[in-house]
Amino acid sequence: MSSVEFSTRPVSDQPLRGDFGWRFAAGVAGAGLLTLMLAYAVVALLLRGTALWGTNIPFVWGFDLINYIWWIGIANAASLFAVVLVLRRHGLRTSVNRFAEAAALAAVAAAAIYPILHLGRPWLFYWTVPYPATFEVWPNFRSTLVWDFWGIMSHVVVTGLFWYTGLIPDLATMRDRAVAKGRMVQAQIYGLLALGWRGSVRHWARHQAAYRLVAALVLPMLVSAQTIVALEFATTLVPEWHQARLPLHVVATGIPSGLGVVLALAALLRGGLGLTRYIDDEDMHLLGKLTAAAALLCGYVYAEALLVALLEDATTRQAMAARAFGAYAALYWGGAALVVGLPQLLWFRRARIKARWAVPIGLGAAAGVWLDRFSLVAGGLVRDHLPSTAPLYAPTMPEWTLLLGSVGLFALLMLAFARFVPVVSMFEMRHEESEADVP
């Protein structure tokens, strides 16, 4: 048996280790601090209101929507990546789909706080939910914001299911190994979450069916969730937003950002948790090339936007020009450079393998999409139907605090994921190795 040298022990040992070392502790401390900042920003917002932000009329949305779309984009691209791997039974799935799913879940969690906090009266957010209230007023089903509510809810549920379904066999493994190590409390928790998994053939058959079914469910939803977010803009009368290509733009530019985050995380986990054996160079090559290819696609989307604008009516053309060459031009071109240009470095072999290249490139792509979202939300309003004398939108300190806080929340969730569950899918690894054994 060739599996003599192969073992999933290093993966399962990580969550069962008592001490994660000072680096992990420092990471948790940093992320925790940022999450506390988030709590502070939220409390300040609830007490003082949206006046804390740099928003005004006409720039009614700022970091609230920018960060929301950005996080949703990351979540969707990460999920999309994981789903495609599962459905295509791609070799890479063993190594990266688990934390791609986790990254998606954490990003959805970070995204989901914004649509609530962005409200003037956040405590009434549940009025977008159709429930039989005594005053018998239902949500306005024509409103894209109601569609968005369903989009986010479905996203949270399905992403969570997808991640959790994939985790069940590994949770059972964790349970068994925790028992073997005599850690009964952990064993009971893992056991509870493993839903009585015994690894019978029947279990495996049903698991595989369920896993692929959920994955198939995720796929259309990812496109739809991004599209619904884009429709919040595209259905308005704002000239630069009111364009059919906007959903495509938002979906397409979301991909390199999500892949970039997964790439950066993979590179970090590889180095940080010593999992080079399990996330091997081939995986990194595949991920890197996918990111670079997605970025190329974005290049097409950007070029199309500029070219088609030339054919549009004067108002739309001026609006596009105002966004690309107006007050927020730096954001537009910075976004384009980071989303389209920077990932092209991943065509180089070294850039894909070395964490010191892959991490900045991956995060750079994500930052580029953030700039793109900023350019969309603020720059898209520079040229409206009527001129305005209001000052431009610029984020304030409380908004930055909110953004940093949501990054902290994302990091904390990812660290918790690395601490408590196997970061690489053990059952898939075993499956792959056993397939490899077949002559």
Among 119, 189, 217, 416, binds another protein (CB under 8 A): 119
| Site map (CB under 8 A) of another protein, residues 244-283, x = contact | ----------------------------------------
Tokens (6 digits) for 426: 């053990």
User: Shortest Cβ distance from residue 416 to another protein (Å)?
Assistant: 32
Distance in angstroms (rounded) separating the CA atoms of residues 252 and 223: 10
For CA atoms 335, 339, 341, 342, the dihedral sign is positive
Q: Which two tokens stand for residue 130?
A: 């159709």
Binding residue for another protein (CB under 8 A) from 1, 137, 310, 438?
A: 137
Residue 190 neighbours by CB under 8 Å, 6+ apart? 171, 172, 174, 175, 178
CB 371, CB 324: distance < 8 Å: no
Q: Does 146 bind another protein (CB under 8 A)?
A: yes
Residue 160 tokens, joined = 């969570």
Among 18, 391, 438, 439, the residue binding another protein under the rule CB under 8 A is: 391
388 near another protein, rule: CB under 8 A: yes
> Which range in 6-14, 18-26, 100-108, 383-391 contacts another protein by CB under 8 A?
383-391
* Least gap, CB of 331 to another protein (angstroms): 14
Which region, judged by CB under 8 A, interacts with another protein, from 15-23, 104-112, 137-145, 333-341? 137-145
Exactly one of 17, 39, 49, 337 binds another protein (CB under 8 A); which one? Answer: 49
Amino acid at 315: T
Per-residue tokens: 359: 């991490």
Please tell me whether residue 232 binds another protein under the rule CB under 8 A.
yes
The percent of the chain in helix, strand and coil, each rounded to the nearest 5, is 75, 0, 25
With CB under 8 A, what is the number of residues at the site for another protein?
51
d(CA 389, CA 84): 48
For residue 265, how many C-alpha atoms fall within 13 Å in the half-sphere facing its CB? 30
- 124 belongs to the binding site for another protein (CB under 8 A): yes
Interaction of residue 198 with another protein, rule CB under 8 A: no
Least Å from the CB of residue 371 to another protein: 19
| DSSP code string of 64-117 | HHHHHHHHHHHHHHHHHHHHHHHHTT-TTHHHHHHHHHHHHHHHHHHHHHHHHH
d(CA 219, CA 84): 8
Distance in Å, CB of 139 to another protein, minimum: 6
Give the number of other Cβ atoms within 10 Å of residue 60's Cβ. 16
Torsion angles phi and psi, residue 398, rounded to 5:
-60, -30
Question: Taking CB under 8 A as the rule, does residue 186 contact another protein?
Answer: no
Report yes or no: 246 and 233 within 8 Å, Cβ to Cβ.
yes
Rounded distance between C-alpha atoms, residue 289 and residue 52, angstroms = 42
Query: C-beta of 152: minimal distance to another protein in Å?
Result: 12
Which of these segments, 20-28, 139-147, 162-170, 268-276, binds another protein (CB under 8 A)?
Answer: 139-147
Residue 154 binds another protein (CB under 8 A): no
Note whether 385 binds another protein by CB under 8 A.
Answer: yes
- Name which of residues 322 to 341 contact another protein (CB under 8 A): 322, 327
Applying CB under 8 A, which of residues 32, 139, 271, 299 lies at the interface with another protein? 139
- Comparing CB distances to another protein, the nearer of 2 and 389 is 389
Residues that bind another protein (CB under 8 A): 48-51, 53-61, 118-121, 124-125, 127-128, 137-140, 142-146, 149, 232, 235-238, 314, 322, 327, 381-392
